[in-house]
């Protein structure tokens, strides 16, 4: 081979290598996947005398039993594995779980045990005994600290789920997670609106406090807000405040034909993910954007709506009638990429 040809070949290979290196430097090939899932009343079959769990007992209105419970655990395991495309998500926020035992049955009593999930859970003051929790893969995530928060005192007479705040390290980045399950809209859209607003104000104050110590803090707020992206309570999180970095609602803008929950034939996005601006405008480290958020809606999580045209989440119950499905909510997923 002549020197000229060898020089040209070497130059070409160098350019190819340079392009490859630049592409690899821009984004890491393996994103960190985040998941949130309202699992629809994951109760065990044991009576807790301190909570109102009677309807989820073998003698209760729903005739909840061990066989149905084990099927539910298996269904949730299947959903988590599918959501991660056989490599389950690094962090999963869950709500409507009764206690730590049901989370342990999911994490340690299924093949999820191979993925070394750590559980963050505490009992909340909710009357029915349902809580929010986080599970995280120890090989990917490192827990720094966590705490549960609630804006309502025992004297207020209002009992609802706590908000979970967890600070974690992913690779060389610090991420702040805030997991929510806001007061229910049972009785109508305006039911408990004042209480949801109070929780929203607490969450926004927490986000502002985190950013006051670090303006470019990376925050992920996720959960069942029992409110759509354009509701008053949700707007508290995304509204502009003086000397406060904004929050970006990645759930906003979904088409009307999609959502996470279907009520009387209409889809609503009440399970949402918001992030601090630092995560969408960052130049280094972990980043994300609206294109990396999605509702997870494979065919097995849906069934034909018996009352309205179209499909709805394949729920465990329809009213008090057992269907054997997964949940009345669809999960949401978010990928974090390394830039």
- What CATH number corresponds to the domain at position 212? 3.60.10.10
State the chain's mean pLDDT as an integer. Answer: 90
- The residue among 36, 18, 32 whose CA lies nearest residue 285 is 32
Predicted local distance difference test score (pLDDT) of residue 17: 37
Q: Quote the CA–CA distance of 243 and 34 in Å, as a whole number.
A: 29
Task: Extract the tokens encoding 309.
Answer: 């045209």
Q: Quote the CA–CA distance of 48 and 120 in Å, as a whole number.
A: 21
Q: Quote the CA–CA distance of 60 and 102 in Å, as a whole number.
A: 19
Q: Write the pLDDT tens digit of every residue in 83-108.
A: 998 889 999 999 999 999 999 999 99
For residue 22, tell me if it sits in a domain: no
Range from 26-40, 43-57, 138-152 carrying the lowest mean pLDDT: 26-40
Please give the residue range of the domain that contains residue 34: 28-338
For residue 97, tell me if it sits in a domain: yes
Number of domains in the chain: 1
DSSP strand pairing (271-276 vs 218-224): antiparallel
For residue 10, tell me if it sits in a domain: no
DSSP strand pairing (317-318 vs 321-322): antiparallel
Q: Write the pLDDT tens digit of every residue in 119-142.
A: 999 999 999 999 999 999 999 999
Asked if pLDDT for residue 158 goes beyond 60, the answer is yes
**CB-CB neighbours of 158 under 10 Å:** 17
Predicted local distance difference test score (pLDDT) of residue 15: 39
Which of 205-209's residues contact partners 24+ apart within 8 Å by CB, and which partners? 206/149, 206/163, 206/165, 206/178, 207/176, 207/178, 207/237, 207/247, 207/276, 208/241, 208/244
Task: Extract the tokens encoding 288.
Answer: 């994300």
Report angle CA 146, 152, 156 to the nearest 5 degrees: 155
pTM of the model: 0.90
The radius of gyration of the chain from alpha carbons, rounded to an integer in Å, stands at 22
Query: Cα–Cα distances in Å, from 289 out to 24, 31, 67, 277?
Result: 19, 13, 41, 10
For residue 294, tell me if it sits in a domain: yes
Predicted local distance difference test score (pLDDT) of residue 76: 98
DSSP strand pairing (131-137 vs 117-121): antiparallel
Q: Which residues make beta-bridge pairs with 240?
A: none
Percent of the chain with pLDDT over 90: 77
Q: How many residues does the chain have?
A: 339
């Amino acid at each position: 081979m002549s020197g000229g040809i060898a020089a040209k070949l070497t130059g070409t290979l160098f350019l190819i290598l340079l392009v490859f290196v630049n592409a690899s430097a821009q984004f890491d090939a393996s994103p960190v996947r985040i998941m949130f899932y309202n699992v629809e009343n994951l109760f065990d079959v044991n009576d807790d005398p301190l909570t109102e769990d009677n309807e989820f007992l073998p003698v209760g209105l729903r005739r909840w039993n061990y066989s149905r419970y084990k099927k539910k655990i298996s269904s949730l395991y299947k959903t988590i594995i599918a959501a991660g495309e056989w490599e389950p998500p690094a962090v999963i926020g869950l709500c409507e779980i009764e206690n730590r035992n049901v989370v342990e049955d999911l994490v340690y009593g299924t093949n999820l045990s191979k993925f070394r999930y750590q559980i963050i859970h505490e009992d909340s003051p909710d009357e029915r005994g349902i809580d929010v929790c986080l599970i995280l893969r120890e090989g990917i995530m490192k827990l720094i600290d966590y705490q549960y928060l609630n804006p309502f005192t025992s004297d207020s007479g209002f009992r609802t789920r706590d908000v979970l705040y967890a600070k974690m390290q992913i690779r060389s980045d610090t991420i702040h997670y805030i997991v929510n399950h806001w007061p229910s809209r049972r009785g109508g859209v305006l039911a408990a609106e004042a209480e949801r607003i109070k929780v929203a104000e607490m969450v926004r104050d927490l986000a502002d406090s985190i950013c006051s110590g670090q303006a470019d803090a990376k925050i992920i707020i996720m959960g069942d807000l029992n409110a759509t992206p354009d509701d008053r309570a949700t707007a508290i999180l995304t509204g502009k405040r003086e000397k406060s970095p904004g929050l970006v609602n990645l759930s906003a803008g979904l088409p009307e034909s999609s959502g996470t929950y279907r009520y009387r034939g209409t889809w609503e996005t009440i399970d949402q993910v918001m992030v601090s601006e630092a995560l969408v405008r960052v130049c280094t480290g972990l980043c994300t954007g609206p294109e990396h958020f999605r509702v997870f809606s494979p065919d097995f999580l849906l069934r034909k709506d018996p009352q309205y045209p179209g499909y709805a989440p394949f729920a465990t119950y329809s009213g008090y009638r057992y269907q054997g499905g997964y949940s009345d909510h669809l999960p949401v997923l978010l990928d974090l990429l390394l830039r």
